[in-house]
Amino acid sequence: MSDVINFTEKLGKFSDLWSPRVIAEMNDYQFKLVKIRGEFVWHDHKDTDEVFVVIEGSMGIEMRDRTIYLTAGEMTVIPKGVEHRPFAREECQILLIEPQGLVNTGEAGGELQAENDVWV
Amino acid sequence: MSDVINFTEKLGKFSDLWSPRVIAEMNDYQFKLVKIRGEFVWHDHKDTDEVFVVIEGSMGIEMRDRTIYLTAGEMTVIPKGVEHRPFAREECQILLIEPQGLVNTGEAGGELQAENDVWV
């Protein structure tokens, strides 16, 4: 490790939506880039917080009691156990930070459940 | 938590160099913004990797066997135990991700050792 990782260069290497690509590991955490458009599924992560950093574009995260909106240069921490549903009207490019092995849909599953540990 | 954190807004709230400010926590990790200019001290972190994400500007990280250069939109992971010395010719604004309680100078100490767990 200790290589230089360029977000734009990595984002140029894939185009599919809702399919996180691992770009780095720090201890037992992974940094993943993902492109989103449309609505994800409601889900939570029982055992871990999850970080969203918006690299390009704008997105929202619906929670049961409110909705937050993020644009490039902003981040948020979704606490463990909090149900959430990410969405974006136009394509949005995000950096996720979360423990190794985390399933993107939590226990909700469905067709948007992505393969894990795919690097770019 | 799950508030929206804007890097530019947080960076506007302090001006001192080499003094990390915590902006978020994810499990037992912290996200810290720091402004740097000049050279830091040689140090390592025996027990943890450390992530640098450049938000604005350019910086370098000298290691014993090579030097890497990072600019806005780039990140790197310094593996645990690897001696490193960050530097920047002009002010550079960085996001650090590392475990709670990590001392910025490792065991090296000195006048650049910053107070820990200072939020902005």
Q: What is the pLDDT at residue A2?
A: 64
Q: What is the secondary structure of A39-107 as a DSSP string?
A: E---B--TT--EEEEEEESEEEEEESS-EEEEETTEEEEE-TT--EEEEEEEEEEEEEEEETT--TTTT
* Domain count along chain A: 1
**Do the beta carbons of residue B29 and residue B98 sit within 8 Å?**
yes
Q: How far is CA B105 from CA B75, B86, B115, in A?
A: 20, 11, 11
- The answer to the question of residue B119 being in a domain is no
Q: What is the pLDDT at residue B1?
A: 52
CB contact burial B20-29 (16+ within 10 A = b; e otherwise): bbbbbbbbeb
Separation of alpha carbons A108 and A99, rounded Å = 18
Length, in residues, of chain A: 120
Query: What radius of gyration do chain A's Cα atoms show?
Result: 13
B63 touches A at CB < 8 Å: yes
A4: pLDDT strictly greater than 90: yes
- The answer to the question of residue A59 being in a domain is yes
A75–B5 CB contact, under 8 Å: yes
Q: What is the pLDDT of residues A18-57, one digit of tens each?
A: 999 999 999 999 999 999 999 999 999 999 999 999 999 9
Residue B60 maps to which CATH number?
2.60.120.10
- The answer to the question of residue B115 being in a domain is no
Using a CB-CB cut-off of 8 Å, the residues of chain A touching B82 are 2
- The answer to the question of residue A120 being in a domain is no
B51: pLDDT strictly greater than 60: yes
Tell me the residues of chain A between 70 and 109 that have a Cβ less than 8 Å away from chain B.
Answer: 70, 73-80, 82, 97, 99
A50 touches B at CB < 8 Å: yes
CB contact burial B97-118 (16+ within 10 A = b; e otherwise): bbbeebebbbebeeebebeeee
Outline where DSSP puts E strands in B13-106. Answer: 21-26, 29-39, 50-56, 58-63, 67-71, 74-78, 84-99
Q: What is the pLDDT at residue B43?
A: 96
Residue of A nearest to B75 (CA): A5
Q: Distance, in angstroms, between A118 CA and closest chain B CA?
A: 18
Q: Name which of A4, A27, A76 is nearest B2 (Cβ-Cβ).
A: A76
Q: What is the pLDDT of residues A78-115, one digit of tens each?
A: 999 999 999 999 999 999 999 999 999 999 999 999 99
CB pairs under 8 A between A and B: 98
**Do the beta carbons of residue B78 and residue A34 sit within 8 Å?**
no
| Entry pTM | 0.97
Using a CB-CB cut-off of 8 Å, the residues of chain A touching B74 are 4-7
A31–B75 CB contact, under 8 Å: yes
Q: What is the pLDDT of residues B64-114, one digit of tens each?
A: 999 999 999 999 999 999 999 999 999 999 999 999 999 999 999 999 999
**Do the beta carbons of residue A4 and residue B68 sit within 8 Å?**
yes
A49–B55 CB contact, under 8 Å: no
Backbone angles phi, psi at B24, to 5 degrees: -165, 155
3-state secondary structure at position B36: strand
- The answer to the question of residue B105 being in a domain is no
3-state secondary structure at position A33: strand
Q: Name which of B1, B51, B78 is nearest A77 (Cβ-Cβ).
A: B1
The whole domain housing A40 covers: 7-99
B51–A68 CB contact, under 8 Å: no
- The answer to the question of residue B21 being in a domain is yes
- The answer to the question of residue B88 being in a domain is yes
- The answer to the question of residue A53 being in a domain is yes
Instruction: Note the Cα A104 to chain centre separation in Å.
Output: 8
A5 touches B at CB < 8 Å: yes
